Structure formats: structure tokens, C-alpha cells
Amino acid sequence: MPLHQSRRIYADHALLTDGWHAQVVVDINADGMISAVHSNVDPAQRRQQPCDWSCRHLVPAICNLHSHAFQRAMAGCSERLDSADKRNFWGWREHMYRLANALTPDSLSAISRLAYMEMLEAGFAAVAEFHYVHHAADGSHYQPLEQMAQGILAAAADSGIGLCLLPVLYTQADADGRALAAQQLRFGNSVDDYLRLLQAINGCLDHHAADTQLGMAAHSLRAVSPAQLQCLLQQLQPQQPLHIHVAEQRAEVTSVQQHLGLPPLQWLLENTNIDQRWCLVHATHATTAELKALQQTGCSIGLCPQTEANLGDGVFALPDWLAMGGHSGIGTDANIRISVTEELRLLEYTQRLLQQRRQVLQPGDIADNIDAQGEALYRHALRGGAQALQRRSGVIASGHWADLLHLDGSVCGMDHLNRSNLIDGWLFAAGSDMVRDVWSAGRHVVVNGRHVQRQQICSDYAAAMRNIQHSLT
């Protein structure tokens, strides 16, 4: 069923590039891009050109810069007590491998559809999908080669989320170059196979929405050799995003240092030309010197607070990064909980607990005249997310995708919020209940708090889960 495309939206108040405006009309063209924004439009003018929808507060919707959609299927299923030596990231990874090896193209698609629906209901308009389950469980290739990627593309099309698909190069089990383990075979590609896969996926994009993008990703310096990473970088196009997991775990930092001679971030800084197309996912164990050098490159850092907390990764030095003027955004990564507000709130609360004070995160790249902490943090993450996806979004302005979010506090006892504290109230108090409508590139996919295809998507997900339930125990 085609998703409804809005053409004209009215808001009592809207957060534009220079702050809040009243009586705003947003015009959207047939492709889903904002074509004009008008403030102080009086009721008589609005009657002449009626709007599709009316909102109380309209803000830009955010990009989710890091997701493994299939992991939504194991949410809540990895908390049973493991043996003491496995109560860590590596023990969790064994649970994840069991699920990954049970997936079929159909179940991957059904799970991804549910995850994308929940992202939209949380207020995300687009997602960067870090996609590494490419082949059958024994490593043999599907026909066509891109069959799993097609499942992701179909999930994005059905849910209406804006997709930046990041096929992942994954060639080895560790930085010492050892061969993939049996449970990693379906992730593996030679560089040549990877480039063929990219080409095949690229050939599918004509059948998808105009805002669908294809980026590139290296899994990590554990899983890709220096020579392979260089081959991949040679193919990177202008404006094409490049994502990589880096410095998430201490054991990873140690392994890369041992085999490549430098810790991973320092190795990347000295051996590649990092620029604003790069999103370094996690960077949890970055040193101050590495952060200073990274800030100069213009890259973004992909923070995934709930997943990093769940996996016991560690705490990224975000106050330092913000003070340097570094760019960052948020990702839902393992999709244990899918929530804009919980990701941002956890970022701030972690720092409050560590520093024993309040209002710690002050984005240096946001204008000084914002005195609402939640709004400053949200606007920082809007910018960082749009950069990580290389998507023209994150602001309500002509020439950008109509990624829009209608917030209304009156539906959840938060009617006292006004535009000066609306985003603070959403992030710190109200949560997803305040999300009433979401548009992704003009597609009106969440209406009155619910995704327009929720019933069908939930029923398809339940059917898919019956076939893979055994992998979750």
C-alpha cells in the first residue's frame, strides 16, 4: 500500500534554523523535499491554500546513525546469567551469532520492518543500517547475491523510513588475519565479492524512494585488513558515507595495537584520510589526543548509549568532544530499546552520575543563545546524524528532505510545556508518548502516535519469529 505523501503542513510553532517561529507552513514537493517555509501565516491565508495536516509543535526528525535491525529480535533475550567469564561483550556476541545464523531473507526483512516501524514511532526519520549478514549460513552466496540486502530495502520501503544502506566488508576473525569462524561465514566477502555486492545493490536503487542511499562500511580493524580497507576507500565516492566500528572494547584496542602496531583510532588517523564522510561508531576508548586529531578531520562519532551501556563497553569522553566542537549523533545499534529520548537522556545522565553535577553536555557547535539543554543536545544530534548519513536533513528549511516530527505534550500530561522547554520536557520527562506524527521525506508514516501499517508489520513479525525462536535460548 503506498504511503501518504504530505504536501503542506501547518504548525502553531516550528523549530526552524534560527529558532522557534509561530504559525508556520511547510511546503513539500512531490519528491519529499521541503520547497518553502513560511512563518506568521494567518488563518485567512491558510484558508486560501489548505494544509494536509496541523501540528502544535513541529521539529526536525532525527537520523539514527547506527542500526543492526535484525538484533531487535533478541531484545530482552540476552540477560540470562552467563558463566562469569562470558558476562561481557564477547559472551553477548555468541548469543547474537546464534540469531544471525538462523535468519532467512524473509525473516530478516520482517524483523527489520518491525525495527524500522518502531524507529519511526520513536521519532527517527531515517536510519543507517550497518548490514553484515550477506550470505547463507554456510557462506554460500544467495542468487541473487544481494538477496539479504533486498530484504532490508523492502523493509525500509514498506515502513517508509529513509534508508542509508551500509553493506559491511568483513573478511577475517581478528586483527591477526585469522580465518572467519564457522558462525561468521555468512558475513564474509572478499573485496571483489564485496564490490560486486555493492554494484548489485546499486542496481536495485532505481526501484526505491529517491532518498534511499548506498554507503560503505568496514566492520572494524579486527575484521578488515589494512590492505582491504585501502581498496574499499579507493572506491568511496564524494558524498558517500563510510562507517566503521572502532575502539568499542578494550580487548579490540589491545588486539589492533598488537597486530597493527597502533591502537585503532591512531592507526586510522595515521594511515587513512578521515574526512566528514566518515562516521566512527563508538570510539568509546578514544584518548584526548586522538579526539583532538579527529575533530580536525570533520568526521562524526556514532554514539549508541543504550547498547554501549547494555554491553558494558565504557563511557565516551563526550564533554571533551563537545567542548572541542566535535560532531556526533546517536544510533540504536542493537535495538534493545528503540527510543530517541532514552538514548539522549542516558548520555546526559551518565555524565551527571560521573561528575556529580547537572547539565553537563554543552554542545560547542550549537549557537550560544540556546539555554535549553535538551534542545541544544537534540540539535547537536540532528546535525551529527544528518552528517553521518550524508542526508540533507536535520533542519526545517527549503532544499532539505521533509523529515519532520510533531510533538504534543497535551496527550500525556505535559501540556504545560511551551516552546522554550518543549524538547527538554520530551527528552527528560515525556518520552515517546509526545510523538504524534512523523514524516520521512514527506511520507506521513506515523499518524496520531501509531505507524500506519502497525497491525500488518506486527503480524508478519510474529510469524517470522515462530521460525527462529529456537535461536534465542
How far is residue 246's CA from residue 255's CA, in Å, rounded to a whole number? 12
CA 472 to chain CA centroid, Å, is: 24
Q: Would you call 282 a catalytic residue per the annotation? A: yes
Answer positive or negative: Cα dihedral of 334, 340, 345, 351.
positive
Name the residue nearer to Zn ion (CB basis): 59 or 232: 232
Nearest distance from C-beta of residue 317 to Zn ion, angstroms: 20
Name the residue nearer to Zn ion (CB basis): 107 or 307: 307
Binding mask 303-342 for Zn ion (x = CB under 5 A): ------------------------------x---------
- Residue whose CB is nearest to Zn ion in the complex, by number: 333
Name the residue nearer to Zn ion (CB basis): 67 or 150: 67
Q: Would you call 135 a catalytic residue per the annotation? A: no
Name the residue nearer to Zn ion (CB basis): 128 or 429: 128
Distances from the Cα of 79 to the Cα of 50, 75, 166, angstroms: 52, 9, 29
Strand 8-16 relative to strand 435-440: parallel, antiparallel, unpaired? unpaired
**Three-state SS for 229?**
helix
How far is residue 186's CA from residue 180's CA, in Å, rounded to a whole number? 9
Q: What is the phi-psi region of residue 401: left when phi exceeds 0, alpha when psi lies from -120 to 50, beta otherwise?
A: beta
Which residue in 68, 282, 327, 451 is the catalytic one? 282
Could you check whether the bond before residue 144 is cis, i.e. omega within 30 degrees of 0?
yes
Q: Which residues pair with 10 in a beta bridge?
A: 25, 54
Nearest distance from C-beta of residue 235 to Zn ion, angstroms: 22
Distances from the Cα of 288 to the Cα of 285, 293, 422, angstroms: 10, 9, 34
Nearest distance from C-beta of residue 331 to Zn ion, angstroms: 8
Q: Are 252 and 264 in contact (CB under 8 A)?
A: yes
Nearest distance from C-beta of residue 12 to Zn ion, angstroms: 39
Which residue in 27, 158, 174, 333 is the catalytic one? 333
# chain residues binding Zn ion, by CB under 5 A: 1
Name the residue nearer to Zn ion (CB basis): 32 or 302: 302
Nearest distance from C-beta of residue 291 to Zn ion, angstroms: 20
How far is residue 270's CA from residue 283's CA, in Å, rounded to a whole number? 16
* Residues within the interface to Zn ion (CB under 5 A): 333
Q: Which residues are catalytic?
A: 282, 333
